[in-house]
Structure 1
């Protein structure tokens, strides 16, 4: 019997494991525009995007250090790494379903049979047993294989989500850092203007004592100085909030960051000749786009998993063990028992429920496709917005710098004229307020212009390489 059984089972296995139901996923490539709608600014070039390690192009050692700290200590990144480990484990669970399941067992009981049952043995007896039970599902219709495909695509999607978390994190760290330096520069400029306005207060007092100016000039000068001084605490408040946000992104407490940031007022300058490529490039460069495509692949395989439930499931079951009424005889060859044979299960009367389940998975697949297309649309939109922001802020910054130069010349001339008595103090106040406002606006614009370049790098895909994630290293 055994000699005829094994070849039959082998033939059954090879013959059944050849059919895979459900749709076979094919990589979907959404259409994108042939070119960007926004004209490129002077420091932006066509060509393959050069976005790898983009933060190093700002030539700021402190920024480089902050990125490295965030890479190692940011909590969102650590959570994303753990999700990769989880996805890998789920893939392992799915893959293990292809192998036979083997369970060991052992039992003892003391039993007496009923005297009312013919041929039974009413005398109490001991029963000993131990053995192995095995069951192997022959993946005839490919439900298990579709499940493995889905789990594998989910692992890849989770890896891309981790990558996207890095892209977002690095840009957020860089933008907060630029905001911090911008606020430091605005505070420095405000203090410089306060010194100049303090000198104007002294001039008005000297002229009043000399009988050349009224008390109103002194009062107006002091009021202007106090208004300017009131801006410092407001800027310092924003500086502290930005430092706290930056510390959070780095996975640290705020007090641990002050010495690293220092008191520099140099706002990082964006690099020259940034290549932005074409809209089609973001399909390969942006991890959120790649993640959406992998999620679509994973969901498509789930349709096959649900479809396989319509068909019978085939198993090869086996038992190998020992059974005896005496513990002394349990391990004798005469106590062995075994069985081996195929079986199947078929959910015949659940057809409509199973078909509705297939429709659920098909709808989820269409949703995943729409989400993928939406992600591509958003990616193109973000790049277009960044390009427009850079272009408009470039012109704004240029005009503000011109305004600052003119305002500085005006203040110098008007103050001299006031000293000589050929200009009223209201002209001095207006000039000082103008230079204060224009210098502050120009500094803000410089920071915004740099931040827009960072947003462009982020929109183009961030240019980071995903680290290998393993069970022993989740960083």
Structure 2
């Protein structure tokens, strides 16, 4: 039996605390990011840097009305209440009570029989008024460590709520950018379809005049039908993103109060905002702040478990009045008082305490491993997002050059076809190549904007660490 350590602890009552105080874990990270993308200063409303009023309204509505955000805020309120209750456990408790009762003694009971023999009244009223106080002395820090755990849980819940807000804002942003990208691609296809219709009209006129074979007309009509067939999937995808945005903003799908079905250009992707120093980033990303606070809470709960090795001392007292009549209730004769102390010690239960301490330490080790894993995942997300943004910008530059060259090639092919120097196949090939390049350029611009949002999200958005 492990009695000696407990006796030693009892002999050194003062100055002992359960477990060790929490120390923030060290994080070894590189000094800079590896991708050549500038990082702007952090901005709480980072989405406004895209310069799109519709997007501003959309994100702010999502942050105000999204049900996941509402649920996260409710979890913060719960954690705040638990933290408040844990702090109250360190203070004395005072209860005030009053009662009044009417009693008639049975003659078949000892008290009633004695009262009858002594000619005492069987019926009486008893009135009591008083207060009772109790106070558990936190000699070994168990209650203090419990308060630390609750406060750390509250900080973790607050950081998790910020992480949810960041996630919802980024998800709304992602859906909006996908919507604008799809609308841009739809406009490209519609424009190309109109061009094909003009070409079909020209070929039809030439076929009617016997200048070209009828198969060339059918070839153009087939190409036009193929381009037209790509519009329904785009319309379905556009509707899906609008419905997704309705859901993210807490509305019924199909409501579209912002008239998102009206096409607008994809906003330009600004530089991401956040900390330019990786170690600072890891201290301010809300999900990492939450993970680190969970480590602190687990450490404090280990201290709570260790406190059960030592005795728990509580003081209690009672001061009040009791009388069988209201007239003499608040008199010296009716005064009653008591005081005392109670000792609770799991002296012969150290095997179970050992198991509880081992479990708490295992949970602390698990939380620490999860925190370190979250840090590594965060570095991967940041580096990948920055590289993705840099490479997408490079792709946009090359795609613009490609579209410029292919536009000239298409125009020259049509001029050659009109002059009889080139065949219809050459024209259709030039149109097809230009359509594909223009479509990829629109997709690349939307991808660059999404990459910027992904970088902002990986860098922690605009939320700072809460104290």
State if a TM-score over 0.5 links the two structures.
yes
Instruction: Give SS of 1:441's match.
Output: helix
The 1:74–1:227 alpha-carbon spacing in structure 2 relative to 1, beyond 3 Å, is same
Question: Structure 1 regions of 5+ residues with no counterpart?
Answer: 1-14, 469-475
Residue 34 of structure 1 and its aligned partner are, at CA, apart by: 2.5
Q: Would you say the 8 A contact 1:16–1:139 is kept in 2?
A: no
Change (3 A) 1:73 1:274: closer
Residue from 111, 123, 126 that aligns with 2:124: 126
Aligned twin of 2:419: 420
The answer for the alignment partner of 1:74 in structure 2 is 66
**Where does residue 265 of structure 2 map in the other structure?**
266
Structure-1 residue corresponding to 2:6: none
What CA RMSD, in Å, does the superposition of the two structures yield over aligned residues? 2.6
Aligned partners of 2:195, 2:42: CA distance in 1, in Å? 45
Deviation at 1:30, TM superposition (A): 1.4
Q: Match of 1:27, SS?
A: coil
Q: Distance in 1 between matches of 2:258 and 2:46?
A: 25
Q: 1:229 to 1:379 in 2, by over 3 A?
A: same
Query: Which residue of structure 1 aligns with residue 363 of structure 2?
Result: 364
d(CA) in 2 for partners of 1:149, 1:113: 58
CA distance in 2, matches of 1:16, 1:88: 32
- CA–CA separation in structure 1 for the residues paired with 2:400 and 2:464: 38
Partner of 2:139: 140
Compute the displacement of 1:158 (Å). 1.3
The change in CA–CA distance for 1:277 and 1:445 in structure 2 (over 3 A counts) is same
If the length of structure 2 is used for normalisation, what is the TM-score? Answer: 0.89
1:39 to 26, 35, 41: 35
Q: TM-score, normalised by structure 1?
A: 0.87
- Taking the TM superposition and a 5 Å limit, the aligned residue runs for 1:58-457 are 58-103=50-95, 104-106=97-99, 108=101, 109-111=103-105, 124=122, 126=124, 128-130=126-128, 131-261=130-260, 263-271=262-270, 277-326=276-325, 329-457=328-456
In the aligned structure 2, how far is the partner of 1:467 from the partner of 1:261? 36
Shift of the alpha carbon at 1:62? 1.6
Q: How many residues align?
A: 448
Q: Deviations over 1:144-188 (max 9, x none)?
A: 111111111111111111111222122222221111111111111
Deviation (angstroms), 1:57: 1.5
1:389 shift after superposition: 0.9
For 1:137 and 1:113, locate their aligned partners in 2 and report how far apart those are by CA, in whole Å.
44
Question: Of residues 16, 19, 24 in structure 2, which corresponds to 1:22?
Answer: 19
Structure 2 unaligned runs (5+)?
A: 1-11
- Name the SS for the 2:268 alignment partner: coil
Q: How far is the alpha carbon of 1:331 from its aligned partner? A: 4.3
**The residue matched to 2:26 in structure 1 has which SS?**
coil
